[in-house]
Amino acid sequence: MRTIKLGPTPLEVPVVAVGCMRINSLDKAAAERFVKTSLEEGANFFDHADIYGGGNCEEIFADAVQMNATVREKLILQSKCGIRKGMFDFSKEHILASVDGILKRLRTDYLDILLLHRPDTLVEPEEVAEAFDALAASGKVRHFGVSNQNPMQIQLLKKHVKQPIVANQLQLSITNATMISSGFNVNMENEAAVNRDGYILDYCRLNDITIQPWSPFQYGFFQGVFLDNDKFPELNRKIDEIAAKYEVSNTTIAMAWLLRHPANMQPVTGTMNVERLKDCLKAGDIRLTREEWYEIFRAAGNVLP
């Protein structure tokens, strides 16, 4: 599995992260097979969140991987906190309590990365800084990041937080690519020119923040996958054509499209299907040509100015 540096850290991470949001949909044997397959394929970066399955997903993962000190050193574990029922909460008290719960469920003494899960408009960055300092000093968290945050929200945190922000999880796929399309349409009077995220793509590249695309196969907000979907005939024809050339699946090509971007993104998978997971991971071995990348982009309905 090809690796990249995670932000400014010394961590070498697989180019594809294994998302565990749906691992609670598997029985014990299937969960063990899923985790074992991931590790056999060199995909040892696992993404969690305290709200996935109400915390149950982290417990299931720890059981499936048969967590112990020897196993732990072979894993890179990331989790997220900050979402509560009906609200977001980046208070010091909640962050610290959440991490303790995550560590207990994962049966580990530390997280490699903790992300703040979505922005909290009531955030007091001084409190976040205190929480991060305490977690870093205790060794409970080694690196920190965010999810779904724009440049100014990150800058607000960085005013007080001294640890580097190493990752930002953002929704991005071939059909949900406004952070890319707006960059093509600067100074244009059209819908694609609307800047919805403060040029977060460029900001992350300038500040060595690894973008972790979530829902890499979804269109809309969990409306479904675009692959093999009659709503996207031209896109699927083009992806299938390129997949045939490389002798891989359409899943592999759709993931390779994200990996082709020079921002060195680390997409997060969502599938619990072992064979589809393998197809996702194969994308790390494929580098689409510039022509192929743009052909796919246009086939999704994106118009170049």
Domain segments of the chain as ranges: 12-171
pLDDT, residue 233, reads 98
293 closest CA partner among 263, 253, 266: 253
Mean pLDDT of the chain: 97
| CA 19 to centroid of chain Cα atoms | 8
52 is catalytic: yes
pLDDT, residue 221, reads 80
Residue pLDDT, tens place only, 86-105: 999 999 999 999 999 999 99
194-228 CB burial, b ≥16 within 10 A, e <16: eeebbbbbebbbebebbbbbbbbbbbeeeeebbbe
Phi, psi at 115, each rounded to 5°: -110, 145
List helix spans (H) across the chain.
28-40, 56-64, 69-72, 92-106, 125-138, 151-158, 178-184, 200-206, 233-246, 250-259, 274-282, 290-299
CA distances from 135 to 73, 83, 96, 214, 261 (A): 19, 19, 7, 26, 33
Token couple for 260: 């082709």
Token couple for 171: 């929704």
pLDDT, residue 173, reads 97
Mark the ranges of the chain whose per-residue pLDDT is less than 70. none
Catalytic option among 52, 110, 199, 246: 52
Phi, psi at 213, each rounded to 5°: -65, 130
178-192 CB burial, b ≥16 within 10 A, e <16: bbbbbeebeeeeeeb
CATH class assigned to 12-171: alpha beta
